[in-house]
Structures are given as structure tokens and as C-alpha cells.
Amino acid sequence: MDDSVSMEVDGGNVTRNPENMERSEMKEDIKKKKTKAVTSDVWRYFTKLGPGDDGIDRAQCDGCKQKFKAGGKQYGTLSLKRHLDRCVKIDFEDIGQTLIEMQNKMGALKIDNHVSREMFAAFVIDCDVPFSIVDNKKFRNWVKYISPTLGLITRNTLKEDVLKIYSREKEKLKSILLAIPNRVCLTSDLWTSITTEGYLCLTAHFVDLNWKL
């Protein structure tokens, strides 16, 4: 008989010992917790490749196809998250829209904080919105109403997100310019801001590999 559940005979009736039953249930709960799969938002952008020759699990970026060690306590998902911040092959704005459409069809929208921050930073860049918008009380109340679980960022975090996008887009532009076989035409433009700061804007025109200007 299993030691986790003992039986007692009382007047011909077999009854289970409640204390042993409770211990057995606790053991089952512990087993379930140990065997429960660990999930992370980064796996939306990576494919698990399984263990390599050294026995360490690896994952491949769906954008640039770069491979990383991932798995266990020694190799978690931190390196994968760092790669997402600088990968030039993944467009988070498009991924975010795809996730929204897919989850809306499923009837359950789960907010991905990483994608949310990328999309918000892209909005700030596109609309020339000041970083101080995140400190606005009415804006923060609106965000809390839309998603109480969404983490609200500070203006310094927003600045870092914008700089990450800038660095990634700069590397992407470099790779595009290196790939074109023809010349680049440069046009400069001088202008002064409302705070009397002078700027030089440099525009590059070229024909890409698809013969588009």
C-alpha cells in the first residue's frame, strides 16, 4: 500500500486517514508547480531549437535568425530580451498590431508590456510628443482605466525607449545603404527651432534594389 494514503478499518468499513490525504494532496501540488511550464513574452519572437551538442537549450530569433543559449537557471531569457531591444529585423509596431488583431479574434487581449512600450515610443516619435506626457495626471488615469495591470513608465524610461529605437533604426539604415549598388544623393537643409537652436537636416535620396526612390 502507498505510504502517502493509509487506510483504517473500523467495524468492517475502510476509511482514509485525513492527515495522510492532506499530505498526499500537498505533494501533488508541489509536483504540479515543478512541472508547470515557464512562459515569457520573448517566446513570441523566438523559436526553441532544443539542446545542442553541449546539452544546452538554444533559441533562434525569428527576425535575424541569430541563435542564443536559453534555458535553465544559467541561461534564462535575459539575453533574449536584450537582443529584442537591438534587433534590426523585428518591427515591434507591426508585431504589436498583429498581436492585437489576433487576441481580439480570440476574445482575450493580453497586454505585452514590451510591445506596448515600443508602440508608445513610436507614437511619441511620430507625433513629436514631449516626454512629460507620461507625468500628466489625466493621461495616467486614462491608461489605468484602459489596463489597470499595465505598468506606467517614467519620462526617463520613455527617453531610453526612444533612444533604443533610434539606435536600432540607425543600424537598419546602415545595412540598407550598404546593400544598394548605386550612388546616394545628399540634400542639406538648415533651420532654427523656436528656442533659436540651429539644426542641419541631411536627406539621402537613392534607388533601392526594387528600383524605388
> Each residue's pLDDT tens digit in the chain (213 positions)?
444 444 554 555 555 555 555 555 555 555 554 444 446 667 778 888 888 777 788 888 888 888 888 766 667 777 777 787 677 677 665 555 555 555 555 455 567 778 788 889 989 998 888 999 999 989 988 888 887 777 788 999 999 999 999 988 888 888 888 888 888 899 999 988 888 889 998 898 988 877 888
Residue 6: Cβ-neighbour burial (10 angstroms; 0-12, 13-18, 19+): middle
Beta bridge partners of 10: 13
Q: CA angle 28-29-30, nearest 5°?
A: 90
When the pLDDT of each residue in the chain is averaged and rounded to a whole number, the result is 75
Q: Which residues pair with 183 in a beta bridge?
A: none
Give ∠ CA 90-96-101 in degrees, rounded to 5: 130
Structure pTM? Answer: 0.51
Show me where the domains of the chain are located.
Answer: 41-85, 113-181
Cα 19–chain centre separation: 45
> Distance (Å, rounded) from C-alpha 89 to C-alpha 60?
13
